[in-house]
Amino acid sequence: MGTEGQAELAPAFNSEINPTLTVTKGDEEFSYTGEFVNEVAEEFEYFAYCILTDTRPDPDGRDSVADMEAVEAIYESAETGQRVEVGDVTL
pLDDT for 67:
86
Per-residue pLDDT of the chain (91 residues; tens, 9 = 90+): 567 888 888 877 766 678 888 999 889 999 999 888 788 888 899 999 999 999 998 877 777 888 889 899 999 999 999 988 887 654 4
Res 78: pLDDT: 92
Cα(11)–Cα(74) distance, rounded to whole angstroms? 22
Element (H, E) at 86: strand 85-86
Q: Is the CB of residue 88 less than 8 Å from the CB of residue 66?
A: no
Structure letter (DSSP) for residue 29: E
